[in-house]
């Protein structure tokens, strides 16, 4: 299966801990997007990355959140000192190119629960 892969699928963290979410894009895709879906809310864009570059992080909270997409390995979304409001489903999407003519395909998501 060459689809977008995310792990872990479920993650439980206590308040104040760190959460690391991983995403491997679809084969042949080099563009990665992270979205967050809060309960009863729509999907919200967080950040767009290409290999070794953050292109657009306009949707990222200013503090505690960071993302990377290294030359080798998966993209990582890192949340430091998690709070209960961070509990959500975090989805990664990938596309083969950038722009309005490229579809974004979503991974299965990581469901983060902060206790």
Joined together, the tokens standing for residue 56 give 């657009």
Does residue 24 have a cis bond before it (omega within 30 degrees)? no
Which lies closer to another protein via its Cβ, residue 76 or residue 89? 89
Instruction: Kindly state the tokens that stand for 12.
Output: 């439980």
Task: Name every residue whose Cβ is closer than 8 Å to that of residue 94 and which is 6 or more positions away in sequence.
Answer: 4, 23, 25, 26, 29, 31, 32, 33, 104, 105, 107
Closest distance of CB 81 from another protein, Å: 26
Q: Which of 51, 12, 52, 9 is nearest to 30 (CA)?
A: 51
If the CB atoms of residues 17 and 98 are measured against another protein, the closer one turns out to be 98
Rounded to a whole number of angstroms, the minimum distance from the CB of residue 50 to another protein is 10
Residue ranges that bind another protein, judged by CB under 8 A: 33, 35, 41-45, 48, 55-56, 58-59, 91, 98-101, 103-109
**Shortest approach of another protein to residue 51 CB, angstroms?**
15
Output the smallest distance, CB 53 to another protein, in A. 12
Which residue, 65 or 91, is less far from another protein as judged by CB? 91
Nearer to another protein, 76 or 105 (CB): 105
55's tokens: 């292109």
């Amino acid at each position: 299966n060459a689809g977008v892969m995310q792990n872990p699928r479920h993650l439980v963290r206590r308040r104040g801990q760190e959460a690391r979410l991983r995403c491997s894009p679809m084969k042949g895709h080099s563009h990665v997007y992270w979205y967050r879906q809060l309960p009863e809310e729509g999907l919200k864009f967080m950040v767009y990355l290409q290999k070794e570059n953050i292109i657009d992080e306009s949707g990222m909270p200013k503090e505690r959140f960071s993302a990377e997409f290294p030359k080798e390995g998966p993209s990582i979304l890192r949340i430091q000192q998690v709070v209960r409001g961070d509990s959500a489903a975090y989805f990664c999407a990938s596309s083969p190119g950038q722009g309005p003519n490229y579809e974004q395909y979503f991974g299965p998501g990581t469901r983060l629960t902060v206790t």
